[in-house]
Structure 1
Amino acid sequence: MLFAGGIATYLVLAARGENKTISAQPTSGPRRAATAGAGTQPATADSFRQGPCPFQPGSGIIQGRDLICGTLTVPEDRSQPQGNTIRLAVAVFKAATAQAAETTPFLYLSGGPGGATLSELGPYINQANRQAVTLGRTFILFDQRGTGYSSPSLYCPEVDRFNQSTKDQNLSRQANDAGYLRALRSCHDRLTAEGIHLSAYTTIADAQDVHDLIHALGYRQVDLYGVSYGTRLALTVMRLFPQDLRSVILDSTVPTQSNLFTSLSASMQHAFDTLFKGCQADAFCSETYPNLQTTFYRLVNRLNAHPVTFNDLQYGPILLTGDGFAQWVFTSLYVTSFIPDLPRAISEIDRGQYTLISETYGELMLAQDISYGMYYSVECGEDMRYTSLQELNKSVSVLRPELRPGMQDGLEVDYQVCQLWNVPAVPPEQKQPVTSSLPTLILSGEYDPITPTSNARQAQKTLSHSYLFVFPGTGHGVFLTSPCANLIMAEFLDNPQVQPGSSCLSSMGEPAFV
């Protein structure tokens, strides 16, 4: 299949890949969403209500003893306190010991935008891994507005149904794009008919929700962790509510001043180049797959001209085009544990064998756990409103010629989606770098395809009390994929004023290609 809305798929998959072990011009004076500050309406201290967990806790975790769940009620639009409300799904894993309960709570922000938190992490935490995942602290999770178990949900089943129904069809790009746009129009029209104000689903609103959550739970400060888009949200909290934070951890950074659409082509090319150079530098890989780069680009052309069908173990027949193949390799680089297998997988496909891709394609590319409505509500107002079709088309020039048509098509489709979504631009100050002296730990994976280390360095320039560590052989989302990262994070949280040790980095090494 040709992936509908390819760029949204590239970016939204960051929410699923993190922490895994396996079109007219915008107007020159766009409408602006409300900013934080005067006139906004906070949630009240009694707006958190305990209730049953919406997920099955992991083995040995008992609700009430180890885990508290509930909902936080906040205004949808804080300039209209008598208007709609949102119920945010919350889960708090209690610290395992009385001494640990005295430490600052640890608040986790997922990526996307549009990624679910509770369904991804809640059932994963069990008594055996609890210490490693929570770092021994009170561990706060919540589904951001429009996502997961929070209500209302901006999930778009229309998009998932379209992707499922066309996964084995050889559609032209034009037919594929038209179907995707129809699906999103149906989703948009349904959400707005339900009375949902899509312009209220922004990073600034998310940050206000974080502020309310901290205080509704009775805390004065938290240690804040964000991954992928969650880092942009964390940076926004740093800007708007620094008094709420003791320290911050940014994992796979998305700076507020960056533009995901115009930077994607450069990130993609860098990701593929890193893989090919890594294989070339490895004695086994370079001998076993001596022409990996040539093979890859030849396959993109060949599969676009002559797509093939293979059977995914979970999702059945899949039609694989060159664009879909490139997207699968790109997305696989998110997952640290799969990076060593990629040269072999590329070589297999070149020989007409699909063992490895059949084991991972569906989970990475078709899993139905992303809120596309939240994704477009945020990204259209935050990034697409601050670029142009000319800039988007210009951005693809950094790509190899084999990759440009698919990328350009995807960017143009998302441009059209944002015209349909028609949310206002965020205030210009949201697109400025965040300047802060808060202690900040920045983590970056060497092979991260979507948030490269250059992103981390860009954000670090205005964070005066920050420490940056790059993890060899690691993809997107360093926490929970690297024991070394957990050690560095734990030491940082014990004393954020002092740079943590990093001797474990020297023993990590590059991917052990197979």
Structure 2
Amino acid sequence: MIRTLWARIAGALLLAGAAGPGLAAEPEFKPGACVGDYAGVPYKVDCGTMVVDEARGDPKSRRITFPVAIVRALEPKGLPPVVYFHGGPGGDAVEGVPTRLKRPAAKEFIAVDQDWIFFDHRGTGLASPSMNCPGTALTDAGPPSEKDADGIIACLKAFKAQGVDLTRYNAVEVAHDVQDMRKALKLDKIDLYGGSYGTRVQAAVQTHAPQGVRAVVQDSPWPPEAAWTVGGPEMVASSLYVVMAKCEAIAECASRYPDLKARLQATAAKFMAAPQSIGGKTYSADDLGGYLMDASYFAARVLPQQLSKIIAGDMSPVDEFMASRDYYAEGQFMTHLCKEEIPFEKRSGIMAGAKGDPVAELMVAPMERIHDICAAVDWGEISPIEQQPVKTTIPTLFLAAEIDPGCPPELTEAAARGYAGSQVVIVTNATHGVGGASPCTRKMIRNYFVDPSQPVDRSCLPAKDTPMAFVY
């Protein structure tokens, strides 16, 4: 669902006066129609909207909303419902629920014997306000141009000028929204499942609002103590080099794509020196770097083939990526990072760590722009606890991919030390988002929620030395 920035701001203003004078309004769940095409969905789904204070506990606060879709269990067994946390920040979940449920794999672990609750985090998706910034592009590496960065700054300032409190759209606030939702739906216990940046929000729940949480699954975890930009370019380059090493270890892949690492570094150096005109189009270092980060997230099996094309001057893989760089609500992405990530990092450290590796250097400029955006807006008081490792006794299963430029497995292994009794599973040859990617991990998730006290069955996982199956 695409709406203009001004329509979203207008929707937020309509909610501004909903709280009664002198009294902080109670959170409320309002049943309503589901969004999307549910024809053929084999589940009963109840939908509605949560209405909460933007500034929780402030009697003068505007009221804001976020959508909820409750997928009822096919064969309920009295287990707590699973609350699903989408990635991003700036991603969404509710509008895509019917598509997700129509996939055959869904029946293996989603709402089999316990309800699953999907919601859009405040400030994104179908929430109101939803802080999308039309006309701008943004990837995990950051804004791909100065124009995009300036557009996002103007967008954030426009929201702020209309009364939106930008300091209230972050993991801590979403964590409390989860508790408001739990109470409004009259749930005694809940389980949590999240992927990517959704795990960062889960961590906030476990730190700030853990009431009623029975068990947690974190898929491709991003822990609070991790640094988004400082070290980020090296994480991307390292992930790419893992894929190339796996290619080099297979005779056919190595013969098709020889010296891939050296050739990619030479190509990256050319882009770092100056924009490249290829096939009548001009490509920047930001364009190539953004593609490399995105591709190593999800396209490792075709990466050697695609990189070989790019090195030879066929930029079609980059063209395809550039056409789809509007997958986040840019404003909400920044309200999270500028409040809970970037204040703990130094802009100068980005190039300091990447310097000398042209592949890593491709990601430096867009990550520096993230800092520039954060510096342009006042984010209020910054709490050091948002950069501290989580300490919890809530049973937690970590699922990490061996190949992940944004959430590498070493971050998971370090973070898990603060989770008493946690279990860590690292899946060989897998990429970002391993939870629903195979029958093995889907079964693992379902069985873990049935009884989180038991060790998960790892016998179905590929061995550590399993060769990667590349697509040629």
Residues 280, 111 of structure 1: CA spacing in aligned structure 2 closer, same or farther, 3 A cutoff?
A: same
The aligned runs of 1:319-338 (5 Å cut-off) are 319-335=282-298, 338=299
Residue matched to 1:350 = 311
- Give the Cα separation in 2 of the matches to 1:41 and 1:206: 18
User: Which structure 2 residues correspond to residues 108-127 of structure 1 after superposition, within 5 A?
Assistant: 108-126=84-102
> What residue is the counterpart of 1:171 in the other structure?
none
* 1:293-308 correspondence runs (5 A): 293-304=261-272, 305=274, 307-308=276-277
For the residues of structure 2 that align with 1:426 and 1:497, how far apart are their CA atoms? 36
Q: Give the letter aligned to residue 441 of structure 1.
A: L
AA aligned to 1:206 is: V
Listed as ranges, the matches of 1:299-448 within 5 Å are: 299-304=267-272, 305=274, 307-309=276-278, 319-335=282-298, 338-354=299-315, 360-362=320-322, 365-366=324-325, 368-397=326-355, 400-404=357-361, 406-448=362-404
Q: Separation in 1 of the partners of 2:429 and 2:281?
A: 29
Deviation digits for residues 161-219 of structure 1 (CA, Å, limit 9, x no counterpart): xx8xxxxxxxxxxx974422331232122211221010111211010001111221221
Counterpart residue number, 2:44 = 66
Q: For the structure 1 residues 342 and 503, does the alpha-carbon distance in structure 2 shift closer, same or farther, using more than 3 Å as the test? A: same
Q: CA deviation at 1:460?
A: 0.5
Q: Which runs of 5+ in 1 are unaligned?
A: 1-39, 164-174, 311-316
Structure 2 equivalent of residue 452 of structure 1: 408
Task: Check 1:41–1:510 CA distance in 2 against 1; reply closer, same or farther (3 A cut).
Answer: farther
Secondary structure of residue in 1 paired with 2:176:
helix
**RMSD (Å), alpha carbons:** 2.5
Give 2:244's aligned residue: 276
Q: Does 1:200 align with 2:168?
A: yes
Query: For 1:78, which of 56, 60, 63 is the aligned residue?
Result: 56
Compared CA separation, residues 339 and 309, structure 1 to 2 (3 A): same
Over 3 Å counting, the alpha-carbon distance change for 1:42 and 1:463 in structure 2 is farther
Select 2:421's aligned residue among 458, 465, 469. 465
User: C-alpha distance in 1, partners of 2:364/2:149?
Assistant: 16
Relative to structure 1, the CA distance from residue 306 to residue 115 in structure 2 (aligned partners, 3 Å threshold; closer, same or farther) is closer
Distance 2:234 2:263 in 1: 21
The SS at the match of 1:158 is coil
442, 450, 462: which one pairs with 1:494?
Answer: 450
Cα distance change of structure 1 residues 74 and 318 upon mapping to structure 2, 3 Å threshold: farther
1:92 aligns with 2:70: yes
1:79 and 1:151 map into 2 onto residues whose CA distance is 19
Q: Which amino acid aligns with 1:344?
A: Q
Q: Compare relative contact order (CA 8 Å, sep 6+) and give the higher one, 1 or 2.
A: 1
Alignment partners' CA distance in 1, 2:411 and 2:172: 20
Which residue in 2 is equivalent to 1:30?
A: none
Unaligned residue ranges in structure 2 (runs of 5+): 1-22
Preserved contact between residue 248 and residue 440 of structure 1 (Cα < 8 Å):
yes
Greater CA drift, 293-302 or 320-329? 320-329
SS in 1 for 2:461: helix
Q: Give the counterpart letter for 1:493 in structure 2.
A: F
- Equivalent pair of 2:45/2:70 in contact (CA under 8 Å): yes
Q: Percent identity?
A: 25
Q: Secondary structure at the match of 1:426?
A: coil
Output the TM-score relative to the length of structure 1: 0.80
Aligned match of 2:18: none
1:357 deviation in Å?
5.0
Query: 8 Å contact 2:289–2:359 — kept in the other structure?
Result: no
* Residue number among 453, 462, 466 corresponding to 1:506 in the alignment: 462
What is residue 56 of structure 1 aligned with on the other side? 37
Deviation at 1:263, TM superposition (A): 3.0
TM-score of the superposition, structure 2-length normalised?
0.87
State the SS of the aligned residue for 1:90.
strand
CA apart distance, 1:348: 1.9
Query: What amino acid does structure 1 have at the position aligned with 2:127?
Result: S
After TM superposition, what 4+ stretches of structure 1 lie above 6 angstroms from structure 2?
A: none
**CA distance in structure 1 between the partners assigned to 2:146 and 2:255 by the alignment:** 44
Matches within 5 A, 1:234-273: 234-273=202-241
| Aligned-pair CA distance for 1:325 | 2.1
Assess if the C-alpha contact under 8 Å between 1:106 and 1:224 holds in 2.
yes
> Could you tell me how far 1:402 is from its partner in structure 2?
4.9
AA aligned opposite 1:256: P
Aligned AA (1:450): G
Conserved 8 A contact 1:113-1:374: yes
Q: Quote how far apart the aligned CAs of 1:318 are.
A: 6.3
Instruction: Give yes or no for contact 1:158–1:187 (8 Å, CA) kept in 2.
Output: no
Aligned to 1:134, the other structure's residue is in SS state coil
- Does structure 1 retain, via aligned residues, the 8 Å contact 2:428–2:463? no
- SS of the aligned residue for 1:179 comes to helix
Check conservation: 2:265, 2:359, Cα contact below 8 A: yes
Cα distance, 1:505–1:276 mapped onto 2, change above 3 Å: same
CA-to-aligned-CA distance 1:115-169 (integer Å, 9 cap, x gap): 1111334433127444135151311100000000000111111314xx8xxxxxx
Report the residue type matching 1:60 in the other structure.
G
